Amino acid sequence: MIVLGIETTCDETAAAIVRTGPDGVGEIVCDEVMSQIALHAAFGGVVPEIAARAHVEVIDKLVRRALKKAGVKIADLDGIAAAGGPGLIGGVMVGLTMGKGLALAGSKPFVAVNHLEAHALTARLTDGIEFPYLLLLISGGHTQLIAVKGVGDYARLGTTLDDALGEAFDKVAKMLGLPYPGGPQVEIEAAKGDPARFEFPRPMLRRPNADFSLSGLKTAVRLEVERRAPLNRQDVADLCASFQASIVDVIIDRTRVGLRLFHEKCGTPTALVIAGGVAANSAIRGALNRFARETGLRAVQPPLALCTDNGAMIAWAGIERLRLGLTDDMNFAPRARWPLDAGAARGHNPKA
């Protein structure tokens, strides 16, 4: 099976070709990604209108490039998958329209992929893990603990009640005058700082549910910044280190609760899968690896390029769904919100 995947839910335009052999093992033939970081840097964050226009300008070129590098034509494909949400609606519309158009013109099956499901299934492409497993998805727009029980079968164990982790990193970076994207800059500064200098809160610590809340922590950092202004370089480093230390403690505590809930609802997980761009943070990654060793879990983190938004994860999710005979028609509408679990609790952050 060979599938084209298209991703346009935020600020990366991506197109990829993934194929499987007779044994069902997936292979990424090519994965083309065009980042929009330079376009949004001046605004300190993603501007939806700019993102949508940028997708329109490059999507056809990127698809052509992916097909050319893979040495295939539309006629050779077994299906076309495009992210149908959740995400910035303008961008989602661009990718969906391209995917539908190609599927219609080539008389190919079309799959509208849930962006979150694509993240959830990537570890099966890279590491071949079996169901069920615990997924910690931490990115700029999503913070969730999910029980991945099968294709299309998910239980959300916890989510953020306000900011996503990556969003909190970016907002703290902006407070401190660090360039966009802020997450990597906070990590760089934290390496030079004292994590014990500031006592920031650990929101939701030891709560029986696995939800996150980061707005109080963000406010605590802002108040400290205002109290000490103007900041010197060591102040910035220490603030970053203390903020990051708080985040690490929260993640481990929430994951511990998520694992307990997983055992209660789904039995024993085959692995702890860590996905999303925030998982690139070395302090967070190291703490999660230690947690996995302590609890006897296998920790799986797909390569960084497959943790951030990419077309390969969309193509692979398309393959997983096509294997089960799951396709979508041309009436599928783009979705700004699209929770993985049908029974997602009301009142949770729609971005999560």
- Tens-binned pLDDT, residue by residue, of the chain (352 aa): 999 999 999 999 999 999 999 999 999 999 999 999 889 988 888 999 999 999 999 999 999 999 999 999 999 999 999 999 999 999 999 999 999 999 999 999 999 999 999 999 999 999 999 999 999 999 988 999 999 999 999 999 999 999 999 999 999 999 999 998 899 999 999 999 999 999 999 999 999 999 999 999 999 999 999 999 999 999 999 999 999 999 999 999 999 999 999 999 999 999 999 998 898 899 999 999 999 999 999 999 999 899 999 999 999 999 999 999 999 999 999 999 999 886 543 333 434 4
Classify the C-alpha dihedral 278-284-289-291 as positive or negative.
negative
DSSP string, 214-251: -HHHHHHHHHHHHHHPSP-HHHHHHHHHHHHHHHHHHH
Does residue 76 sit in the same domain as residue 175? no
HSE (CB half, 13 Å, CA atoms) of 202? 13
Residue 73 · residue 54 · CB < 8 Å: no
In a domain, 246, yes or no: yes
Does residue 46 sit in the same domain as residue 66? yes
The count of domains in the chain is 2
In a domain, 314, yes or no: yes
In a domain, 70, yes or no: yes
Does residue 153 sit in the same domain as residue 188? yes
Residue 224 · residue 174 · CB < 8 Å: no
pLDDT for 265 equals 95
3-state helix, strand, coil in the chain (%, to 5): 45, 20, 35
Does residue 194 sit in the same domain as residue 296? yes
Does residue 144 sit in the same domain as residue 282? yes
Does residue 114 sit in the same domain as residue 185? no
In a domain, 345, yes or no: no
In a domain, 62, yes or no: yes
Does residue 239 sit in the same domain as residue 309? no
pLDDT for 295 equals 96
pLDDT for 348 equals 37
In a domain, 352, yes or no: no
HSE (CB half, 13 Å, CA atoms) of 188? 10
223: CB partners within 8 A, 6+ apart: none
User: Residue 82 is encoded by which pair of tokens?
Assistant: 């495009």
Does residue 113 sit in the same domain as residue 176? no
pLDDT for 45 equals 84
Rounded CA gap, 3 and 321, in Å?
11
CB atoms within 10 A of CB 215: 14
Q: Is 275 helix (H, G, I), strand (E, B) or coil?
A: strand
DSSP state of 212: B
Does residue 160 sit in the same domain as residue 283? yes
Residue with tokens 């610590």: 205
In a domain, 27, yes or no: yes
Q: Is 182 helix (H, G, I), strand (E, B) or coil?
A: helix
Domain that holds residue 211: 133-301
pTM of model > 0.85? yes
In a domain, 221, yes or no: yes
Rounded CA gap, 61 and 346, in Å?
40
Residue 338 · residue 119 · CB < 8 Å: no
pLDDT for 42 equals 83
Residue 112 · residue 250 · CB < 8 Å: no
Does residue 286 sit in the same domain as residue 317? no
- Indicate which CATH number applies to the domain containing 206: 3.30.420.40
pLDDT for 351 equals 43
Does residue 76 sit in the same domain as residue 25? yes
Does residue 267 sit in the same domain as residue 184? yes
What CA–CA distances, in Å, run from 113 to 29, 85, 340? Answer: 19, 7, 11
